[in-house]
Structure 1
Amino acid sequence: MQRGIYIVANDRVADNAIALLSSLRRHDPNVPIVLIPFDQRYQGVAERLQRYQVSLFPDLAFLEAFTQKIGEIFPKDFLALPNKMRKLAGWFGPLDDFLYIDTDILFFGPVTETLAYLEQADFICCDYHFKGRGIQDIFSQRVIDDGIFTPEALQDVFNSGLWGSKKGAISLEQMYDLLQDCAQHREYFDFSSGTTDQPIINYLVLKAIPRRLNIAKANPSEPGSWGGSPHFEQRDRRLYDGDRPLRYLHWAGTPMRPGGPYRTLWEYYRYLDDPDARSVETPPIRKSWRQRLSAMLRKAR
């Protein structure tokens, strides 16, 4: 059995990917890590991540066909960034047990310890979305009114930046059927904050995978992980919530720019294996028109 990690990236997020991989390899030098290209602009990041023994998703033809199928299922105005759905390809890739990790994350311990929770369930996550934001950024009130999920199931909602599952826990035919359901019921989802994959993947998991485990529920001492929490303390290149070491930090919409929260820690991991890159100025990234419009709408509220 092969147990490992998937990331989705392109050249635009190469710096974040390097910081994440640097933090992962500090504790787990040998765990398999597979890059799923976000789009066609991935050759640069793939080359730069070779130093971290990252392999490329082996079936790019499947990935392209999968992306095309999703484009056929959903109306063009349904998903803000359709390629974010490529993370779903993890269920059909080379890893038997896998953890998916967004690139705006740093890990502070052996990721194999998190993967080990898959011995208890077919799907895992580790966050407090259910406790803080509830169904916000995932479902609308309509799913409650129509009884689409039980109240107990809705307690299993999760942030889609870090989660794990098993190859084949959802079949490809089953996934396409569930995606068709999603496409026919836009009213079930909360896209108001600009999310794309998070509402859809929650629908898939709650419908198709009954054996679920949230580490934050299973482990009473599990600390938080959100980069917008200001109270974490840095010691020995990791963060602590009081005396509890964080498993990981996820910026999750929190600015990662210079001067932003925990930026110095991100810079440590970004330049740990590449100190000369500090002298290279990174050009600013222009936001897409969808991102600019979303920001304007949020300010107008």
Structure 2
Amino acid sequence: MTRGIYIVANDRVLENAVALLNSIRLYDPEVLIYMIPFNEEYQQLADIICNVHNVKIFPDLNLLNQFTQKIAEIFPPDFLALPNKMRKLAVWFGPLDEFLYIDTDIIVFEKIAENLNLLSQFDFLCCDFHYKSEGLRNVFSPLVAEENIFTTEQLADVFNSGFWASRKGIISMEKMEEILRECATHREYFDFTSGVTDQPILNYLVLKSFARRCNLVKLPGQDIGSWGGSSHFQEKDYILYDSDRRLKYLHWAGTPLKGGAYWKLWQHYRYLHEGKPTLWKKLLLRR
């Protein structure tokens, strides 16, 4: 059995991807990591992370292209703000038997893949307080509750799509396509008002497909924050703590990274193995 981590990235998010990978490798030098290219513009990033971080490129680029074409066929042109974000759904058909998906605007503070041990009990894991702080916002419209598309218990399991885990083989491509087509015919179910793309669709897919779900923050003693917009976390030795409890990760979802409460911490991880660029170097890099 192989287990590891997937990211979706391209050259545009190079800086964030390097910071994330530096943090992952600091705590786990050996874990398998695969990058799913967001589009064709990823060679600059690949040259760095494949050599420095031992990241592998998703091996079946043909599958990714076919999946992208299928998404374009299923959803109307104005349905999804950034259709290529849906490429993350290909993780269920990739080389890893157990996998953790992580967005690039995240840094981690532990051997993060050890959380996959819980997949012996569950089919899907997440780890955030979206259900508590945001409710259905940026996931579903009120209609989903009003029409009992999902139960109240199910709707309490909505999650942020930037950090989650699952297992290969628990959903077929045919079943996924069936559910995606269902989504495409019911735009009224979803809340895209803030420009999200994959999060509403992924939530619908997970609630429809996997009964054995677990949000780690609901486990005893694990109700630890992770949002970059929370300014109360305390830093010690470049690790964040919520009171006296160590964060698993920090995610700048929907909140500015640069200039925020943890900007210097992000810079630490970004330049962990190289000197922080001077203003002169930054100007040269922009040319």
| TM-score normalised to structure 1 length | 0.92
Which residue of structure 2 aligns with residue 211 of structure 1? 212
* 8 Å Cα contact 1:271-1:278 kept in structure 2: no
Which residue of structure 1 aligns with residue 149 of structure 2? 148
C-alpha separation between the residues in 1 aligned to 2:158 and 2:285? 34
Which residue of structure 2 aligns with residue 265 of structure 1? 265
Q: Residue 283 and residue 89 in structure 1: after superposition, are their counterparts in 2 closer, same or farther (change >3 A)?
A: farther
Deviation at 1:44, TM superposition (A): 0.9
Q: Residue 234 and residue 36 in structure 1: after superposition, are their counterparts in 2 closer, same or farther (change >3 A)?
A: same
Which residue of structure 2 aligns with residue 29 of structure 1? 29
Which residue of structure 2 aligns with residue 296 of structure 1? none
Structure 2 residue 37 is matched with structure 1 residue 43? no
1:9 alignment partner AA: A
Deviation at 1:190, TM superposition (A): 0.4
After TM superposition, what 4+ stretches of structure 1 lie above 4 angstroms from structure 2?
276-279, 282-285
1:2 alignment partner AA: T
C-alpha separation between the residues in 2 aligned to 1:283 and 1:64? 35
Which residue of structure 1 aligns with residue 226 of structure 2? 225
Which residue of structure 2 aligns with residue 7 of structure 1? 7
Which residue of structure 1 aligns with residue 239 of structure 2? 238
C-alpha separation between the residues in 1 aligned to 2:147 and 2:180? 19
Question: Identity rate of aligned residues, in percent?
Answer: 58
Question: Which whole-Å deviations, capped at 9, do the CAs of 1:201-221 have from their partners, x for residues lacking one?
Answer: 000000011111110011333
* 8 Å Cα contact 2:100-2:113 kept in structure 1: no
Q: Residue 11 and residue 278 in structure 1: after superposition, are their counterparts in 2 closer, same or farther (change >3 A)?
A: farther
C-alpha separation between the residues in 2 aligned to 1:24 and 1:222? 22
**SS of corresponding position for 1:224:** coil
Which residue of structure 2 aligns with residue 295 of structure 1? none
Question: Which whole-Å deviations, capped at 9, do the CAs of 1:136-195 have from their partners, x for residues lacking one?
Answer: 100001111111101111111100000000001211000000000000000000001110
Question: Which whole-Å deviations, capped at 9, do the CAs of 1:79-138 have from their partners, x for residues lacking one?
Answer: 000000000000000000000000000000011222212122010000111111111100
Which residue of structure 2 aligns with residue 292 of structure 1? none
Structure 2 residue 137 is matched with structure 1 residue 136? yes
Question: Which whole-Å deviations, capped at 9, do the CAs of 1:236-260 have from their partners, x for residues lacking one?
Answer: 1110111111110000011112x22
Q: Residue 186 and residue 210 in structure 1: after superposition, are their counterparts in 2 closer, same or farther (change >3 A)?
A: same
Which shifted more, 60-69 or 113-122?
A: 113-122
C-alpha separation between the residues in 2 aligned to 1:8 and 1:41? 12
2:35 alignment partner AA: L
Which residue of structure 2 aligns with residue 101 of structure 1? 102
| Long gaps (5+) in structure 1 | 286-301
C-alpha separation between the residues in 2 aligned to 1:42 and 1:196? 21
1:179 alignment partner AA: L
| Long gaps (5+) in structure 2 | none
Structure 2 residue 16 is matched with structure 1 residue 16? yes
**SS of corresponding position for 2:282:** coil
**SS of corresponding position for 1:35:** strand
**SS of corresponding position for 2:101:** strand
* 8 Å Cα contact 2:5-2:113 kept in structure 1: no
Which residue of structure 2 aligns with residue 73 of structure 1? 74
RMSD: 1.5
Which residue of structure 2 aligns with residue 64 of structure 1? 65
**SS of corresponding position for 2:164:** strand
**SS of corresponding position for 1:275:** coil
Structure 2 counterparts to residues 109-120 of structure 1, below 5 A: 109-120=110-121
Which residue of structure 2 aligns with residue 294 of structure 1? none
C-alpha separation between the residues in 2 aligned to 1:160 and 1:2? 23
C-alpha separation between the residues in 1 aligned to 2:274 and 2:216? 33
Question: Which whole-Å deviations, capped at 9, do the CAs of 1:1-38 have from their partners, x for residues lacking one?
Answer: 00000000000000100000000001110000000000
Which residue of structure 1 aligns with residue 190 of structure 2? 189
1:147 alignment partner AA: N
* Paired residue total: 284
**SS of corresponding position for 1:6:** strand
| TM-score normalised to structure 2 length | 0.96
Which residue of structure 1 aligns with residue 177 of structure 2? 176
* 8 Å Cα contact 1:101-1:163 kept in structure 2: yes
